[in-house]
């Protein structure tokens, strides 16, 4: 028997490195008219590295001590920023103290007890009560240059800032352009990161519509709002923070290589080979298969 068009399209998508989970998904892909892209790990390579280690003088910590505490707290996390912090500590040959009572809040950061001290690492705007705190100015400065700044709190007090940089994927701008052409609508960027870093990256990728500082439920509301306006939205993301939006959207696509388990399970399709350009290619495959089905 000849293979039904949607099944051949699934096989074809597989050759492009995209795992499409069902024939229904293969069909729905071609209906998408609006795309929402996550930033960290989706539009960027997701292999960020620590560029700045800035202990606050009053913390009494030096660079290595600050980095070791942060890395110990981040150690259990699967977030790309967490891996950057742990790698930076390893590169400096720092031993990581044992970590207890780890918790993480998607879109905010992590918290753990490290050698008897409570260490929190995460978004400065979410962890600081006082927006005028000197650490906020250090963070803003790093963010102006497109970096992500994370605050390290020790026993409830700001102890220092880490600057983290990630590169735009080489195929990001071309993918944004082909998605715009295919769907007739320019993609939107949905990110939990700060507005300054997000604007910097969006400009490089050719995206104008940027929504930053979003918690997982804010990403979900943004998608619901677009679908409420009659759009068929495709969300492309990699994180635990993207899972609610991936689940609610007409179509959810997860980045497979560095994606969180939750994102991979929740998504309708997974980009297995780490190429963003596979997204428009798969939409085009669906369109062609649908023409054959009808
Ligand atoms: P994105 O939407 O761009 O993928 P996330 O929602 O995952 O970003 O993260 C948003 C922000 O929350 C980060 O920029 C960072 O400030 C903070 N954050 C989240 N998880 C962590 C973590 N494990 N370590 C440090 N900061 C974190
Ligand atoms: Mg992400």
CA nearest ligand 1 atom 26, residue? 122
> Which atom of ligand 1 is the closest one to the Cα of 107?
6
Ligand closest to Cα of 191 equals 1
Domain-terminating residue out of 140, 165, 190:
165
pLDDT of res. 260: 87
Residues 144 and 203 reside in one and the same domain: no
Q: ipTM, 2 decimals? A: 0.96
CATH (domain of 232): 3.40.50.1000
Query: Among residues 146, 165, 184, which one ends one of the domains?
Result: 165
223 CB under 6 A from ligand 1?
Answer: no
Contact in structure between 135 and 160 (CB atoms under 8 Å): yes
**Alpha carbon nearest to ligand 1 atom 15, residue:** 123
Interval between CA 263 and ligand 2 midpoint (Å): 10
For residues 245 and 216, membership in a common domain is answered with yes
- Kindly report the protein residue whose alpha carbon is nearest to atom 25 of ligand 1: 122
Instruction: Tell me whether residue 238 is one of the annotated catalytic residues.
Output: no
Could you give the CA distance from residue 224 to residue 233 in angstroms, rounded to a whole number? Answer: 9
121, containing H or E segment: strand 117-122
| Domain span holding position 211 | 5-45+168-293
pLDDT at 94: 97
For every residue of 46-59, DSSP letters joined together read: S--EEEEEEE-GGG
Kindly give the distance from the C-alpha atom of residue 139 to the centroid of ligand 1, in angstroms, as a whole number.
14
Atom nearest to 108 CA in ligand 1: 12
State the pLDDT at residue 2.
Answer: 74
Decide whether any atom of ligand 1 lies within 6 Å of the 74 Cβ. yes
Instruction: Give residues with Cβ within 8 angstroms of 236, minimum separation 6.
Output: 35, 36, 37, 38, 42, 253, 254, 255, 276, 279
Does residue 101 sit in the same domain as residue 11? no
Domain final residue pick, 135, 165, 195:
165
Q: Which atom of ligand 1 is nearest to the CA of 121?
A: 25
Q: Which atom of ligand 1 is nearest to the CA of 104?
A: 23
**Whether residue 59 sits in one domain with residue 140:** yes
| Interatomic CA distance for residues 183 and 248, integer angstroms | 19
> Are both 198 and 235 inside the same structural domain?
yes
Same domain, 227 and 140: no
In the chain, the number of structural domains is: 2
For the chain, 294 residues long, the average pLDDT of each consecutive 10-residue run is: 86 95 96 96 92 96 98 94 97 94 95 97 93 91 92 97 95 97 96 92 96 96 97 95 96 91 95 93 94 76
At 86, which CATH number? 3.40.1110.10
Give nearest CA residue, ligand 1 atom 9: 107
Same domain, residue pair 195 and 181: yes
Q: Which of 38, 166, 193, 238 is catalytic?
A: 38
Residues 161 and 175 in one domain: no
191 and 112 co-located in one domain: no
Residue 89: closest CA among 54, 50, 59: 50
Residues 285 and 209 in one domain: yes
Both 143 and 80 in one domain: the answer is: yes
Question: Are 215 and 74 contained in the same domain?
Answer: no
Residues in a beta bridge with 148: 164
């Amino acid at each position: 028997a000849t293979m039904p068009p949607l099944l051949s399209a699934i096989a074809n998508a597989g050759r492009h490195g995209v795992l499409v989970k069902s024939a229904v998904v293969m069909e729905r892909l071609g209906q998408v008219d609006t795309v929402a892209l996550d930033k960290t790990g989706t539009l960027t390579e997701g292999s960020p590295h620590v560029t700045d280690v800035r202990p606050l003088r009053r913390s009494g910590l030096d660079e290595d001590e600050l980095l070791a505490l942060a890395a110990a707290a981040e150690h259990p996390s699967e977030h790309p920023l967490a891996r950057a912090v742990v790698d930076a500590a390893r590169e400096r040959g720092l031993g990581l103290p044992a970590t207890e009572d780890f918790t993480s809040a998607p879109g905010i950061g992590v918290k753990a007890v490290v050698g008897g001290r409570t260490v929190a690492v995460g978004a400065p705007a979410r962890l600081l009560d006082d927006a005028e705190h000197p650490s906020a100015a250090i963070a803003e400065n790093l963010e102006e240059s497109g970096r992500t700044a994370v605050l390290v709190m020790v026993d409830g007090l700001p102890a220092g800032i880490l600057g983290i940089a990630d590169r735009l994927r080489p195929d990001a701008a071309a993918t944004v352009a082909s998605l715009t052409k295919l769907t007739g609508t320019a993609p939107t960027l949905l990110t939990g990161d700060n507005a300054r870093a997000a604007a910097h990256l969006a400009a490089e990728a050719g995206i104008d519509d940027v929504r930053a500082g979003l918690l997982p439920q804010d990403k979900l509301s943004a998608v619901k709002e677009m679908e409420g306006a009659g759009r068929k939205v495709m969300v492309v993301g990699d994180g635990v923070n993207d899972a609610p939006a991936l689940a609610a959207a007409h179509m959810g696509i997860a980045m497979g290589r560095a994606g969180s388990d939750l994102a991979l399970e929740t998504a309708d399709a997974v980009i297995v080979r780490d190429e963003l350009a596979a997204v428009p290619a798969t939409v085009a495959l669906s369109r062609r298969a649908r023409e054959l089905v009808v």
